[in-house]
């Protein structure tokens, strides 16, 4: 995903504290509903409504449905407002705008954040005159450019003017801006990037996929709790199975971090199933796979690269001979479904969990379809009150830890 990793001494003060300021989360005021919907082309709306392959829509058919939690896009007829960093991404703002237009519906109201002259296609625009580039140093850029589109988009959530934020821009800057504007949930040590994995037995979630290069065992325990909430509220798994990524299934295998984390996870109230090897991830060995951000990011990129290489090789073999082309016509529907399930654009993005607002990080090279699905993923997180559920779960853990006598 091109995710940025921030490094910190394993038992020292995390770098994220360098960008966190006073809490900015405010009670939500009445929202401005001034989106110019009448200018949206009917064809675009029809295309969005007709999407039958959206991974976000497919999540409702997960293995075990969890109890529903009312959120911002329940039966209240109030659209979920998603702030979108229009200047983030490698393909330019026009692609982001088209993705936002595809995601627009009666239930989802994209709010673009960008320069005054941005062509919005009728969508609401919040002006932001600056931009943070992909190669800028995250913390320095966020501090130096408070009016950049990425920072302003996060601020809209902090001020209650949007329900969630989506960006395909500089991941490190997004992490820094989220920490600065939204701050962490009480009791959260480190935020974590949670990425859906297209496992054969049903979607699962891998975290951390890149927010923390270094981590402690207690961080991984907390990632397990975050992942369990994600699996319940987004994947619809009633009782998530949590596993720890390691070099072997045996409890005694792994480095010092893995051994310590295994002991903590085993002693927790999570449904911990022990270690899992990376070769089992696409099979669906667990609903939640926990690891540190460095290992998770390497694992994620390996999966993405392997899937792409195999699918490309299969296509080349099919078109290389007349017999292969004939066979390709017969397997085209099945091959299309497989590619759809494995294509990163189908998932749209990844949640940055552990913050007081909902943040979705999209791939830097996201297409309009990926942006649209990232927006839908954000809306689903709002619908299922992921932030509220995390706050409740992790708050309980924090209070329990405080009650333990020293």
State the 10-residue block means of pLDDT for the chain, 406 residues long. Answer: 39 45 44 35 30 38 36 62 93 94 94 94 93 91 94 95 94 92 91 87 87 91 92 87 92 90 94 91 89 91 83 83 81 74 72 94 89 93 90 73 56
User: What pLDDT is stored for residue 397 in this prediction?
Assistant: 66
For residue range 363-376, list pLDDT tens digits in order: 888 889 999 999 99
pTM above 0.85, yes or no: no
In order of 83, 125, 226, 243, 380, the CA distances from 277 in angstroms are 37, 46, 21, 9, 30
User: What pLDDT is stored for residue 361 in this prediction?
Assistant: 93
Q: Which of 66, 352, 400 is nearest to 223 (CA)?
A: 352
User: What pLDDT is stored for residue 44 in this prediction?
Assistant: 30
- Nearest 5°: the CA angle 363, 36, 158 is 50
User: What pLDDT is stored for residue 398 in this prediction?
Assistant: 61
CA gap 138, 405 in Å, rounded: 39
User: What pLDDT is stored for residue 29 in this prediction?
Assistant: 42
Where helices occur in 291-367 by DSSP H, the ranges are 293-318, 322-342, 344-347
User: What pLDDT is stored for residue 236 in this prediction?
Assistant: 84
User: What pLDDT is stored for residue 55 in this prediction?
Assistant: 41
For residue range 227-277, list pLDDT tens digits in order: 998 888 888 888 999 999 999 888 888 889 999 999 999 999 999 999 999
CA gap 191, 222 in Å, rounded: 9
Q: Is 207 helix (H, G, I), strand (E, B) or coil?
A: strand
Q: Which of 403, 357, 354, 346 is nearest to 382 (CA)?
A: 357
In order of 127, 133, 142, 404, the CA distances from 137 in angstroms are 23, 9, 9, 40
**One-letter-per-residue 3-state SS of 222-285:** HHHHHHHHHHHHHHCCCCCCEEEECCCCCCCCCCHHHHHHHHHHHHCCCCEEEEECHHHCCCCC
């Amino acid at each position: 995903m091109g995710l940025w990793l921030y490094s910190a001494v394993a038992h020292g003060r995390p770098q994220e504290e360098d960008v966190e300021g006073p809490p900015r989360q405010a009670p939500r005021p009445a929202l401005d509903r001034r989106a110019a919907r009448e200018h949206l082309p009917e064809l675009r709306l029809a295309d969005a409504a007709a999407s039958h392959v959206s991974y976000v829509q497919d999540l409702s058919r997960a293995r075990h449905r969890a109890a529903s939690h009312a959120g911002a896009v329940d039966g209240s007829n109030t659209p979920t407002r998603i702030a979108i960093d229009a200047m983030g991404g490698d393909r330019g703002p026009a692609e982001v705008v088209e993705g936002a237009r595809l995601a627009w519906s009666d239930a989802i109201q994209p709010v673009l954040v960008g320069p005054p002259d941005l062509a919005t296609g009728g969508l609401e625009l919040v002006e932001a005159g600056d931009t943070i580039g992909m190669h800028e140093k995250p913390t320095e850029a966020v501090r130096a450019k408070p009016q950049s589109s990425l920072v302003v988009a996060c601020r809209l959530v902090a001020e209650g003017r949007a329900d969630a934020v989506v960006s395909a821009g500089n991941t490190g800057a997004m992490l820094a801006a989220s920490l600065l504007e939204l701050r962490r949930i009480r009791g959260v040590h480190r935020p974590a990037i949670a990425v859906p994995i297209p496992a054969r037995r049903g979607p699962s979630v891998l975290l951390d996929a890149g927010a923390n290069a270094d981590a402690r065992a207690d961080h991984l325990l907390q990632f397990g709790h975050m992942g369990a909430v994600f699996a319940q509220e987004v994947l619809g798994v009633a009782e998530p199975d949590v596993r720890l990524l390691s070099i072997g299934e045996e409890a005694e295998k792994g480095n010092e971090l893995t051994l310590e984390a295994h002991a903590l996870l085993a002693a927790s109230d999570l449904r911990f199933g022990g270690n899992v090897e990376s070769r089992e991830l696409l099979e669906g060995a667990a609903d939640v796979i926990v690891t540190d951000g460095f290992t998770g990011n390497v694992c994620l990129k390996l999966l993405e690269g392997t899937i792409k290489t195999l699918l490309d090789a299969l296509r080349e073999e099919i078109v290389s001979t007349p017999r292969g082309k004939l066979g390709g016509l017969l397997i085209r529907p099945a091959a299309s479904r497989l590619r759809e399930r494995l294509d990163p654009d189908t998932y749209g993005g990844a949640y940055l969990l552990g913050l007081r607002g909902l943040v979705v990080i999209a791939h830097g090279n996201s297409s309009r379809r990926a942006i649209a699905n990232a927006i839908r993923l954000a809306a689903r997180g709002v619908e299922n009150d992921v932030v509220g559920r995390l706050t409740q779960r992790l708050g309980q853990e924090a209070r329990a830890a405080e009650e333990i006598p020293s």
